[in-house]
Amino acid sequence: MPTAHTDKRYEEELTKLREEILYMGGLVEDQIQKAVNSLVERDSDLAHIIIERDHEVNRLDVDIDELCIKLLALHQPAGRDLRFITTGLKITTDLERIGDMAVNICERALELNQEPQLKPYIDIPRMARISQRMIRESLDAFVREDTDLALKVCKDDDEVDQLNAQIFRETLTFMLENTQTISRATKISSVSKYLERIADHATNIAEMVIFMVKGKSIRHMKELPPSV
């Protein structure tokens, strides 16, 4: 957590920054869940609602950026506070892109809902649940400066990658066996890829937390360390 200050207004703004980032994270997490529900439950009305709600994610991105810039300009923070604010500035970019991925899932759901269902959706909801948990835990790690939790998020990304590869193999089999399934199979594979990218963005956040706390970059490592 950022250090305590005698400047009450500054403390309040740091608290607001923390709360706004967590709120934005909760919103995009909900966007993912409902986007996948719109596919699994074939609920096109829900898909339209989630697409429309993306403007709130974009608004939060702008508001948080402005708050970070204000904190940097007016208070000239140093040390832990500086790292906290600059990391928050970067995190919102990943959260905004996660929101975009939820919109992309809804767009594919709208298309797939107009056609007969190709296969039961089992692994896609599983991918969504893991990705949502990764977002939640990466943000918890951010506010608690918990590098162990951040490292766990990075390791959980492997499970999402494996599920994405599995769905790709399954949809490819459908396409090879019956050319009439190509369009639907491609769209299902796209949804899986969007969820894989969401997990990547959660991993980015976790990696930034580790750098913020330890000053150590674990990006591009072939193997993750057991601890940091």
CATH number of the domain encompassing residue 46? 1.20.58.220
What is the number of domains present in the chain? 1
Establish if 69 belongs to a structural domain. yes
Domain range for 141: 8-214
Answer for the pair 99, 51: CB distance below 8 angstroms, yes or no. no
pTM of the full structure: 0.90
Tell whether 3 is covered by a domain: no
Residue 194 domain flag: yes
Q: Is 24 among the domain residues? A: yes
User: What string of pLDDT tens digits covers the 228 residues of the chain?
Assistant: 444 455 888 889 999 999 999 999 999 999 999 999 999 999 999 999 999 999 999 999 999 999 999 999 988 888 889 999 999 999 999 999 999 999 999 999 999 999 999 989 999 999 999 999 999 999 999 999 999 999 999 999 999 999 999 999 999 999 999 999 999 999 999 999 999 999 999 999 999 999 989 877 666 555 666 666
Buried b (16+ CB within 10 A) or exposed e, 96-112: bbbbbbbbbbbbbbeeb
Establish if 221 belongs to a structural domain: no
Q: Helix crossing, 44-75 with 79-112: angle to 10°?
A: 160
d(CA 91, CA 86): 9
Domain membership of residue 223 (yes or no) is: no
